[in-house]
Every structure is written in C-alpha cells, then in structure tokens.
Amino acid sequence: MKTNTIVSTIFLGFFLAGTCLEICASQDSIPQKLVPSVTHSLKDAYLAALKTSETLNVQKELVVQADEGLSQANGALFPTISGSYSFLNQATPSSVTGSAIFPASQSTGRLTLTQPLFRGLRDFAALRQKRFLVGSQLGAYQVAARQLFYDVATAYYNVLIYQSDVKNYEAVIEVNLKRLKELDRFFKIGRAQLTDVLTFKSNIASVEAQLEVSRGQVESAKEVLTYLTGWGRDTSLSDDEPHLLQLESAGTYVAQIENRPEIKAALENLSANHEFIPISWGAHLPSLDLIGNYYLVRPGVLKDVNWDVQVALTFPLFQGGIVQSQVRQAESVVRQYDLVLSQTRRVAEQEIRVFYNSVLADSKQFSKLKELVSVAKQNAETEVKYYRNGLVTNLDVLNAMTTYQDAQRQMDRQSYAFKLDTVKLKAATGQRPEIGVTHPQH
C-alpha cells in the first residue's frame, strides 16, 4: 500500500513538472512586442546641443549681464537714500557759550535722500545706450545659436556620409565576393584565367582597406557629434530633411539680409555707441541735485532741527579740453561701428550667396549622378552577361562594376552634402524656426 502511494506521488510530481515546463516553454514561444529603436533627427541633435554648448551658455550670461546693466541705468534715475551715524569727541572750549555750540561729545545720525534733477541729459542717453546693448547681446546670442546649428549640421551629416560609405563598401565587397565565386568556378572549368581571379581578389582587398578607412572616419565623426550634443556614440540618426529642389532667385535670399541677427546686432552696436556723443557732450552742462536730510540725532544748538533740504547746482568751467576730446573720440567710434556694419552686411551677403551657389551646384550634380548610377548599373549588368557569353574580358567587367559602385557611393555622398548645404542656406536666411531664438531663458 505504501509502495503504491509513493509511486503515485512520484508520477504526480513528474506530471506537474512536465506541465510547468510546457507552460514555461509556451510562454517563451509567445512573440514579445518589439521595442522600436529610437532615432534622432537633425532638429533633435540641435536641441540637444543647445543644452550642452558652453559657448552658447556663455553668450546667454552676457545677455543676462546686459539686462542687469539696463536695470542699473534705470535705477540711476531714481533717488538714493542712505543712513549715517558719526560720533565726535573733542576738547571742551574755554567759554560756556562755546561749550553749548561745540560740546565735547557730539553724535550725529541722519537719513539722506539724493535726487538727481539734471545731469546734462547724460543719464537718459546712458539709459538708451543700455537698451541698445541688450539688443546687441541678443543678436550676438542668435549668431552663436546659428553657428552652433552650422556645426551640428556638419557633424550630423558627416556621420551619415561616412556611414553611407561603409554601407556601400560592404555592398561592394559582398557583390565582388559573389563574382569571385563565379570566377573560381569558371577558372576550374577553364573559362577564366588565374589573373581574372587574382584581379578580383586584389580589388576586394583594396575595397576592404577603403572600408576600414571609412569606419575610422565614422568613429571620428561620431566623436564630434557626441561632443556637440552629449549623446552616446551609438545613437541612431534618421535623416528626414528634404532636398531643396526649387530655388528662388539669389536676390530673393539676399533681400532677407536685414533680418539676420548679426546685422541687427551691428545696428544696435552702432546706436549704442552713438549715445556716447550726448553722454560726452553733456559734461559741458551743469548738474542739479536735490538733497534732503532727516536727523535722528544732532549735537549742539541745532539738536532740535530735524531736517534740511538743499538744491545743489554745479557748473563745469574748465577741464583742460578733456570733454571736447571725449566728444571727438565718441564721434570717431561711431564712424568705426558704421564701417563694421557695412562689413557685416557684405560678409552676410557673401555667406548667403556661397550657400546659394553650393545648393544650386549640388542640385545639378545630384541629378547627373542619378543618371550616371542608372546607366552605370545597366552597363555593369550587361558586361556581366557578355562575359558569361565570352564577348568581353574580365577587366571590362571589373571596370564597369567599379564605375557603377563609385557612382553609387558618390550619389549617396552627394545626397547628404546637398541636404547639408540646404539646411545651411535655410538657417542663413532665417528659415529654421528652431534657431529663431528671441530671448534666451535665464
């Protein structure tokens, strides 16, 4: 009886274990939901670089400092209130009257209000100047943001260009290996020469060497993109930028030059430095201040007098010609910044025209390369068929295949170069909204 119970228990245990294994196996066989790989666009790369760039953050702090300078200029128009306390101990005068007027111990405590009434209008000129300087720093910030976009776009497309090279070289090696197997078979049956086999082997070795170079270039390009964005080196990139296939006239793009941030910054700088003229010339004019004191403690016969008010008028009479020299200096600075503005406009126009001409040339070259790839592919396939029929040599096939493969690689590279020049032209003409920053967030 006990034996039967033990045997039943053992069989039950095996049955349950088998059932558990089947359940586990069935669970393992259930297809898991695939997690889509996350890829990042050029816009994602730029937004990441905005948070990482020390250069841009330094420029942001300069904007903050300019804002604070404006606040200080505003504050200079308001009255200042200060408090003071002094204690004086001196020898006692010999006369009683003198003792009342000049006590041995004197304590003075007061609150003083000073309100500037007129400073030759220099304070208002300084206020306007600070406003212009804020605009100038904002323009400089936007210029830095656009330059960061240029750098990120270049690094981004360099990665894609070199990755396309790797992909093309790997495809070339795969095709050549298949071709090599066919040549080996032909060689064994006497339809191909040993030199044909060796030629393809050497060609494969050459492509493998170029492949390793491209792999190294990919790693270097990834390092640059990682530095700019803070991303990992294995971040996947997804290119969704269109080619700019329809260009407007160059004059249309150049006409937008006044909207560029460096032009606005140069104009603000010119206006800010122009304010130095009234600031300097205002030193010729008198200054008028209102000063009021309220006494908390006062010694001597005036101890019961709690307040006084005075108006102070100061006339500048002679300062050795310094003021007039400062005016001439300010006028010279204005002429200097006027020249800087002119130069900035010419450089900006040159940049737009360079990008425009690059995009125009890219468009034509990309179109021709597409035609070349189509024709070269057809030619390579035809040469292979002719070789099998003994109509052409192996060298003819190799040349045709090399022409097709090189054309394919050039077209892929040109496609990315075309897009890079396109996004730069759009950025240069204010058509990239992600870099249209009006004011950095503090």
Mean pLDDT confidence for 39-51: 93
DSSP H helices in 295-321 = none
Count CB neighbours of 299 within 10 A: 18
Does the pLDDT at position 136 exceed 70? yes
Least Cα distance to 168 among 409, 377, 375, 376 occurs for 409
Tens digits of per-residue pLDDT, 94-134? 655 555 566 778 889 999 999 999 888 889 999 999 999 99
Q: What pTM does this model have?
A: 0.81
Q: Report the distance separating Cα 184 and Cα 207, nearest Å.
A: 19
Amino acid occupying residue 73: A
Does the pLDDT at position 214 exceed 90? yes
Does the pLDDT at position 16 exceed 90? no
Quick one: CA dihedral 418, 421, 424, 430, positive or negative?
negative
DSSP H helices in 189-282 = 194-229, 250-254, 261-274, 276-281
Least Cα distance to 259 among 66, 427, 423, 131 occurs for 427
For the domain covering 38-78+120-284+319-435, report its CATH number: 1.20.1600.10
Tens digits of per-residue pLDDT, 179-199? 888 888 888 888 778 888 888
φ/ψ of residue 107, rounded to 5: -120, 130
Count CB neighbours of 124 within 10 A: 17
Q: Report the distance separating Cα 379 and Cα 368, nearest Å.
A: 16
φ/ψ of residue 294, rounded to 5: -120, 120
Task: Tell me the domain boundaries of the chain.
Answer: 38-78+120-284+319-435
Nearest-10 crossing angle of helices 322-388, 261-274: 170
Least Cα distance to 299 among 133, 85, 93, 13 occurs for 85
Confidence label for 397 from pLDDT (cuts 50, 70 and 90): confident
**Residue 183 burial by Cβ neighbours in a 10 Å radius (0-12, 13-18, 19+):** buried
Does the pLDDT at position 240 exceed 70? yes
Confidence label for 37 from pLDDT (cuts 50, 70 and 90): low
- Res 190: pLDDT: 81
Does the pLDDT at position 58 exceed 70? yes
For residues 39 and 237, is the Cβ–Cβ distance under 8 A?
A: yes
- Res 194: pLDDT: 86
Q: Which of 239-243, 365-369, 374-378 has the lowest mean pLDDT?
A: 239-243
